[in-house]
Structure 1
């Protein structure tokens, strides 16, 4: 049976002028940009596609990072607004910031093995009707 195996694209409507937004995300997040945005072609992809946001202030996107502490230090050093400090869970570290254009972004440094183990258990529970 054919099935979805990942996300091919996420198309957001960020606040701010396109070039300024892309330049900022290139400088502060290390995202290589093209005319169309950024693409991920390295490493593994761990993606959650949520069909409902928890509230209106929830971020529209969560970006995986390799060192959330260093990124947040860079944000603090550059007076970038931290919305939610870094929190640690068994499956990774999360934090939220607001870019200069007012967009709330969540960052995630995953603990890959623990995350995969957790998701597999949640899938089994969901199929059994326990979630």
Structure 2
């Protein structure tokens, strides 16, 4: 099997007031925020454009369920379908079904402490068009 995780795709966290937090990070730390948070652009070892998303979310978001944690990490992966098959064989809890968008495929798992992790097989060029 190819590499599993190839990088950090994003960090999502709950907050009482996402807009206020985005504004604070914009004004105090210079993050180029938009309605979703901030996208950091970088190049991988092959020189491909890649992105990592930072996103504050409403404290009552159901997106992190079944985890009750205040955050969720998103990992960039290769071949999501095969990776989820392997993880299932290894006893990892899979959450929900794969979802596909123009910017990639998404799947979710739980770590041993109940943290929901988002796995993303990205299509970064969709953000650049």
Gaps of 5+ in 2: 1-28, 33-39, 65-70
Higher helix share: 1
Q: 1:104 aligns with which of 92, 116, 127?
A: 116
Q: Separation in 2 of the partners of 1:56 and 1:111?
A: 25
Alpha-carbon deviations, 1:5-39, whole Å to 9, x = none? 839xxxxxxxxxxxxxxxxxxxxxxxxxxxxxxxx
Q: Separation in 1 of the partners of 2:102 and 2:90?
A: 29
1:55 aligns with 2:61: yes
User: Which of 1 and 2 has greater Rg?
Assistant: 1
Higher strand share: 2
The higher-RCO structure (CA 8 Å, 6+ apart) is 2
Structure 1 residues 103-112 or 57-66, which shifts more? 57-66
Gaps of 5+ in 1: 8-40, 118-131
Change (3 A) 1:3 1:42: farther
**Number of equivalent positions:** 83
1:93 aligns with 2:105: yes
